Structure 1
Amino acid sequence: MITPVDLENKEFKKSFRGYDMEEVEAFLGELVKDYGRIYRENASLKDKNAILNDAVENYKGMEETMRSAIISAQRTSDEIIRNAHEQADNIVKDAKVRAQELLNDMDGRIQALNRECAEIEGRSSLLRAKLRTVLNTFVQMLDELPEEKEHTKRIEKVKHEQNQEETKKVTEQ
Structure 2
Amino acid sequence: MITHQDIREKSFDNAKAVFGGYDMGAVEDYLDDVADAFEALQKENSALKTKMKILVDKIEEYRTNEDALNRSILSAQKLSVQIESDARSRAATIVSEAETKAASILGSIDERIATEENRLQQAKISAAKFLDQARTLCQDQLNKLDLIAASNTVAAAASDKDSVRIPQENNAPAADKSAFDAGNTQVFSFSKDN
TM-score (norm 1): 0.67
Q: Mean Cα displacement is larger for which, 85-94 or 34-43?
A: 34-43
Flag the 1:104–1:150 CA change in 2: closer, same or farther, 3 A: closer
Flag the 1:136–1:68 CA change in 2: closer, same or farther, 3 A: same
Partner secondary structure for residue 16 of structure 1: coil
**Highest RCO, 1 vs 2 (Cα 8 Å, sep ≥ 6):** 1
Flag the 1:136–1:87 CA change in 2: closer, same or farther, 3 A: same
Task: Supply the distance in 2 between the matched residues of 1:75 and 1:16 (Cα, whole angstroms).
Answer: 83
Could you tell me which residue of structure 2 aligns to residue 98 of structure 1?
108
Deviations for 1:100-136, whole angstroms, at most 9, x for unmatched residues? 2222222222221221121111112111111111222
Matching of residue 68 in structure 1 with residue 78 in structure 2: yes
**How do residues 1-80 of structure 1 correspond to structure 2 at under 5 angstroms?**
16-17=11-12, 20-80=30-90
Q: Which amino acid aligns with 1:16?
A: S
State the superposition RMSD in angstroms. Answer: 3.1
Flag the 1:140–1:31 CA change in 2: closer, same or farther, 3 A: same
Task: Supply the distance in 2 between the matched residues of 1:118 and 1:77 (Cα, whole angstroms).
Answer: 60
Unpaired runs of at least 5, structure 1: 1-11, 162-173
Q: 1:29: how far off?
A: 4.2
Could you tell me which residue of structure 1 aligns to residue 133 of structure 2?
123
**How do residues 84-163 of structure 1 correspond to structure 2 at under 5 angstroms?**
84-143=94-153, 144-145=155-156, 146=159, 147=163, 151=189, 153-154=190-191, 157=193
Partner secondary structure for residue 61 of structure 1: helix
What is the percent sequence identity of the aligned residues?
9
Could you tell me which residue of structure 1 aligns to residue 168 of structure 2?
none
TM-score (norm 2): 0.60
Flag the 1:150–1:65 CA change in 2: closer, same or farther, 3 A: closer
Higher strand share: 2
Kindly tell me the number of residue pairs found equivalent between the two proteins: 145
Task: Supply the distance in 2 between the matched residues of 1:36 and 1:46 (Cα, whole angstroms).
Answer: 15
Flag the 1:150–1:96 CA change in 2: closer, same or farther, 3 A: closer
Task: Supply the distance in 2 between the matched residues of 1:99 and 1:58 (Cα, whole angstroms).
Answer: 59
Higher helix share: 1
